[in-house]
């Protein structure tokens, strides 16, 4: 499998896991110390570090999912991710950088369907038989979030 295919396959598996509600699989897409950060284009442009959500390492990623499962109160909802083809660049023998656009549609139990988020995934990926994210930065185009952001983007 070539690099482009391997990276896009990782993005696709990630999106399908979230959309199918397999949240427990989510931390496994990251390396042991992998970082996940959601931010906004505005904060990025202003050079401001504030994340909407930040996790560093699989324990913190798992905490987020455990909290969604056992602690937090939010209405039942699903996502549908649409991820564009990626611009992929090999950094060295074992790392690649990828930028891909995304749309996330949120579907509530009532059927209410909303274009919840759009933006870019800016990733640093460790290449191996099953590539993983060393860092995934989710840069949302808008500074606005409707009601709450529970499931990761």
What is the binding site for another protein (CB under 8 A)?
Answer: 38-40, 42-43, 46, 48-55, 57, 59-60, 62-63, 66-67, 69-75, 143-150
Residues 6 or more apart whose Cβ sits within 8 Å of residue 18: 26, 79, 81, 151, 152
If the CB atoms of residues 92 and 144 are measured against another protein, the closer one turns out to be 144
Q: How far is the CB of 100 from another protein (least distance, A)?
A: 21
Q: How far is the CB of 63 from another protein (least distance, A)?
A: 5
Q: How far is the CB of 65 from another protein (least distance, A)?
A: 11
Q: How far is the CB of 47 from another protein (least distance, A)?
A: 10
CA distance 131 to 143: 31
If the CB atoms of residues 6 and 60 are measured against another protein, the closer one turns out to be 60
CA distance 20 to 78: 8
CA distance 121 to 124: 10
| Tokens of residue 56, six digits | 């560093």
| Tokens of residue 38, six digits | 């959601």
If the CB atoms of residues 3 and 44 are measured against another protein, the closer one turns out to be 44
Query: Are residues 19 and 25 in contact, defined by beta-carbon separation less than 8 angstroms?
Result: no
If the CB atoms of residues 57 and 80 are measured against another protein, the closer one turns out to be 57
| Tokens of residue 9, six digits | 């396959």
The total of other beta-carbon atoms located within 10 Å of residue 34's CB is: 23
Q: How far is the CB of 85 from another protein (least distance, A)?
A: 27
If the CB atoms of residues 40 and 98 are measured against another protein, the closer one turns out to be 40
């Amino acid at each position: 499998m070539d690099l482009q295919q391997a990276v896009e396959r990782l993005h696709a598996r990630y999106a399908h896991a979230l959309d199918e509600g397999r949240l427990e699989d989510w931390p496994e897409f990251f390396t042991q110390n992998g970082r996940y950060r959601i931010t906004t284009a505005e904060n990025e442009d202003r050079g401001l570090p504030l994340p909407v959500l930040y996790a560093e390492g699989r324990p913190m990623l798992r905490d987020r999912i455990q909290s969604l499962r056992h602690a937090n109160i939010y209405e039942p909802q699903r996502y549908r991710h649409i991820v564009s083809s990626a611009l992929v660049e090999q950094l060295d023998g074992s790392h690649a950088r990828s930028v891909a656009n995304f749309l996330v549609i949120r579907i509530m139990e009532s059927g209410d369907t909303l274009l919840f988020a759009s933006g870019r995934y800016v990733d640093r990926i460790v290449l191996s038989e099953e590539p993983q994210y060393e860092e995934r930065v989710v840069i949302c185009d808008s500074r606005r979030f409707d009601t709450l952001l529970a499931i990761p983007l």
